[in-house]
Amino acid sequence: MEEALEKALAGEGYFAFPGLLLVRGPDALSFLQGQCTRDLRRLSGPMGALFLNHRGQIEEAATVFPHPEGFLLAPWGSLEGLRARLKRYLVFDRVELLELPLYRRLHAHGREEVAESGEGAHPAGVYPLYALLKGLPLLSDIRGELPQSVGLLPLVDPGKGCYLGQEIMARLEGKEVHHRLVGLRGLSPSQEAPFALLLEGRKVGEAKRVMETPFGVLGLAVVRKEVPLGEAVEGGGGRFLVEPLPFEEAAWSGRRSSG
């Protein structure tokens, strides 16, 4: 696994995620336009998109691919979760949601594509650690957060027409949000995330994910912007240093933690 991690961090190989959702039918475009944060009329290749609730918080996320019959959605979470999210808002729309046995290939250098097989991919268990080191949050890390608070504002097309959560996005346009996504480096043992993070007894954020790595305990958190990098915070029975993302270990060349 460490060999696969080192290759992925060097930009070699790809990860493969099974199961894509084909959204097709006469109303496919208008339906998806009303659901996601991207303007699909501009779609010419893979495009990351967020699906928000009425408070502007992230519920689901997917990579959208053009398809001759409509749109292919590769979920960043589970296929079941994304399908359920879309079905909740299907009323009179002439839209069909069809699960296909295809794969989303995410190359370590960033390119995404649709494939019929996941053969040759890095082990699936490597991806959470790879993503953590690179500062790429999983859907579970960002669900319930505003896109601006987790560095995903580029996935919200400004000026796009009406979609769920658009009113909040428009209200926040040009305004600074109070939180940001940061890294955590463990200084002492803690419980499993999520848990609140405290600075001098005051809640300043939440640890989203904490895990053992070859470099010690690392994690992702959403904290208030006034918490400076390098500050020590407490939570979950442990202490952590707040660090910038990606972690310096994302440039790994076989190093290990001495701890």
DSSP 98-135: EEEEEEEEEETTS-EEEES--TTPPPGGGHHHHHHHHT
Q: Do 170 and 147 form a contact (C-beta atoms < 8 A)?
A: no
Instruction: Flag whether pLDDT at 211 surpasses 60.
Output: yes
Specify the number of domains making up the chain: 2
Q: Is the pLDDT of residue 69 over 80?
A: yes
d(CA 118, CA 125): 14
Q: Kindly state whether residue 259 falls inside one of the protein's structural domains.
A: no
Neighbours of 38 (CB within 10 A): 19
Model pLDDT, residue 206: 98
Q: 2 or 20: whose pLDDT is higher?
A: 20
Q: Does residue 58 fall inside a structural domain?
A: yes
Q: Which residue has the tokens 């099974």?
A: 18
Is residue 150 in a domain? yes
Question: Max Cα separation, the chain?
Answer: 60
User: Do 243 and 135 meet the contact criterion of CB atoms below 8 Å apart?
Assistant: no
Same domain, 246 and 146: no
Classify burial at 75, counting beta carbons within 10 Å of its beta carbon; exposed 0-12, middle 13-18, buried 19 or more.
buried
Q: Does residue 246 sit within a domain? A: yes
- Token pair recorded at residue 171: 């209200």
Domain containing 29 — which CATH number? 3.30.1360.120
State the pLDDT confidence band at 169, using cuts at 50, 70 and 90. very high
Of 141, 135, 109, nearest in space to 122 by CA: 109
Q: Would you say residue 183 lies in a domain? A: yes
Task: Write down the pLDDT at residue 252.
Answer: 74
Residue 176 confidence class, pLDDT cut points 50, 70, 90? confident
Query: Whole-angstrom Cα distance, residue 241 to residue 258?
Result: 17
Residues 133 and 185 in one domain: no
Residues 160 and 182 in one domain: no
Structure tokens at 181: 């996504």
In the predicted model, is pLDDT for residue 39 greater than 90? yes
Mean pLDDT in residue range 216-233: 97
Q: What is the DSSP letter of 3?
A: H
Mean pLDDT of the chain: 94
Query: Taking the CA of residue 20 as centre, how many other CA atoms within 13 Å lie in the half-sphere pointing to its CB?
Result: 26
Segment 193-201 shows an average pLDDT of 97
Assign 63 a pLDDT band (cuts: 50, 70, 90).
very high
Residue 198's pLDDT band (boundaries 50, 70, 90)? very high
82 falls within a domain = yes
Contact 208, 193 (CB under 8 A): yes
Q: 165 lies in which domain range?
A: 2-170
Residue 255: predicted pLDDT: 56
Q: Which residue reads 């080192």 in tokens?
A: 6
